[in-house]
A = this chain, B = another copy of it.
Amino acid sequence: MAISVETFFLSPESQGTLQAQIQQMIAEGILSGRFRKGEKLPSSRRLAAHLGVSRITVTLAYTELLANDYLTSRGRSGYFVSDNAPVPPDFTPPEKGEETVDWSRAIGRRFTGGNTLEKPHDWASYRYPFVYGQTDPALFDHSNWRLCALQALGQKDFTALTADYFDQDDPRLVEFIARNTLPRRGIIARPEEILITLGAQNALWIAAQILLTQRRVAAIENPCYYALRDILNQSRCHVAPVDVDKNGMRPGQIPGEADVIFATPSHQCPTTATMPMARRKALLKRARAIDALIVEDDYEFEMSFLDAPTPALKSLDTDGRVIYVGSFSKSLFPGLRLGYLVGSESFIREARALRASVLRHPPGHIQRTAAYFLSLGHYDALIRRIRKALSERRAVMQTAIDENGLRVAGTGVFGGSSFWMQAPDQFDTVETAKHLQSQGVLIEPGHQFFQGPDRPTHFYRLGYSSIAASRIGDGIAKIAQAFDGN
């Protein structure tokens, strides 16, 4: 039996080359059982005419399917579904009955209900996306990333790509971080003091699991990165919020019972405050006095363009008291999911064992690609380009904010990629954000960063890492209109 050419069509949403789309269409037809063994395919000429593609494209797709044993060729009679082609299952799944499991009882621990970011998934299609922490395709060094990924896919790197590392990391990436990345933050660490994680989120989560229990106290900044609070809630420890001022966390307010202090000294999240040296020393002194550890989330340090970055808090630590969290998410892209933990060997050993149990190790290919991208110098070039663009955008932001009379609540000394803003008291920025969204403007309401029952609702964050400078003026004007009480 011949398969009618009419059953073939290319979906307008399909991606990939035309050849790949044709191959996929036929493979899926076979896998789903629509095309059966021995059935004849349309000639390449007919299928090409039907789909409106060149004949060679169809021929190449057929040839590939031949090599994969989906099709066989019988000389001039054409192509047929191979006898060796994979068969669809011959067992039919049973009708689904009513589920009888009582999930309210079966679920032992709940994880839903946390603070999730209220950002639409199609944020990139908005005209004025003042969103935070996404990648700007206009800035990313796509071609060199591609080259490094290709290199990491080469035969020589087969083991790095495919092997089960159990609890180990890619030694090349660890070595680069130890020798090149950390020294720029003033940190000297041996490979045994470094663990690669699945992004900074994963690093914070691991640190919390190891250091906190139901009987321990975590001091956090207020406001702070909202996902950290979810992590701490999971560990069931007591949480002590410590207010942040324009210099960051206030050491004197950290309660004596605190076992672990979570801090973002270089760029406080979300206020962007940079902690001055005197306060850093005071923070370390306070930690020593109450024998607490500090988890330093050094996100975004590469985005310092107004002034050179200060050394990390970890660089001042001679006790082994600071655990350092680094990330490539902000500088490369968040979908990469690569971060790292730096701390004393005793701590890293536990972190490694926990990570092995939870996920074994970050995928080898990702680690190796990043190692190449870093060691070939592309990373630094990219960072310089991003800094330059952010610096320009920031200037445009500042001008537009001033001209429109908006109020900045926090500005980092070193740059960064966002402003922390304050609307008049009477506004609930969740409502305003909704209103603005309907006008193509995305802002981030600030309430979720705060802890406690009386969370202020009139703060918001404006990111400028994903909006073109030319759009900023109009976008800020629209925001100003929305906050214009008159």
| Residues in chain A within 8 A of chain B (CB atoms) | 15-17, 20, 23-24, 27-28, 30-32, 65, 67-70, 84, 86, 88-89, 91-97, 99-101, 103, 106-114, 116-117, 119, 121, 124, 133-135, 137, 140, 142, 145-146, 149-151, 153, 155-168, 179-180, 183-188, 198-199, 201-202, 205, 209-213, 216, 227, 230-231, 234, 259, 288, 293, 311, 315-316, 318-321, 329, 333-337, 344, 346-347, 349-351, 353-354, 356-366, 372, 375-378, 380-381, 383-384
Contacts and interface: CB of A to CB of B under 8 A. Distances in A.
Contact of A111 (B111, B353, B378): B353
Of A156, A158, A357, most buried by chain B (CB within 10 Å of CB) is A357
Nearest to A180: B31
Contacts of A163: 134-135, 333-335
A65 B377 CA distance: 8
B151 A108 contact: no
A151 B354 contact: no
Contact of A93 (B183, B202, B359): B183
B359 A311 contact: no
Given A112-B349, A231-B357, A347-B107, A27 B377 contact: yes
Contacts of A68: 377-378, 380-381
Given A101-B293, A134-B163, A357-B114, A180 B28 contact: yes
B93 A188 contact: yes
Nearest to A30: B377
Contact of A145 (B103, B153, B210): B153
Contacts of A155: 137, 142
B335 A363 contact: yes
A360 B199 contact: yes
Nearest to A105: B291
Contacts of A372: 16, 20
B354 A111 contact: yes
Of A111, A140, A188, most buried by chain B (CB within 10 Å of CB) is A111
Nearest to A182: B93
Contacts of A65: 377
> Which 3 residue pairs are nearest across A and B when measured between Cβ atoms?
A27-B377, A99-B320, A164-B334
Contact of A360 (B146, B156, B259, B337): B337
Given A363-B337, A376-B24, A211 B166 contact: no
Given A159-B124, A166-B117, A357-B234, A209 B109 contact: yes
A16 B160 CA distance: 13
A108 B213 contact: yes
13 contacts: A20-B376, A23-B377, A32-B179, A69-B384, A91-B186, A97-B318, A99-B320, A109-B213, A146-B150, A149-B149, A162-B333, A337-B360, A337-B363
A170 to B, nearest CB: 10
Given A163-B134, A357-B234, A375 B93 contact: no
Nearest to A65: B377
Contacts of A334: 162-164
A216 B69 contact: no
B153 A106 contact: no
Contacts of A24: 375-377
Given A180-B28, A180-B32, A184-B89, A149 B157 contact: no
Contacts of A151: 16-17, 20
A339 to B, nearest CB: 10
Contacts of A315: 91, 93-94
A317 to B, nearest CB: 8
Contacts of A134: 162-164
A210 B134 CA distance: 30
B347 A335 contact: no
B187 A15 contact: no
Given A316-B94, A363-B363, A168 B137 contact: no
Contacts of A107: 210-211, 346-347, 350
Of A93, A99, A186, most buried by chain B (CB within 10 Å of CB) is A93
Contacts of A88: 183-184
Contacts of A380: 27, 31, 68, 70, 86
A316 to B, nearest CB: 7
A258 to B, nearest CB: 13
A311 B347 contact: no
Contacts of A349: 112
Nearest to A361: B337
B359 A70 contact: no
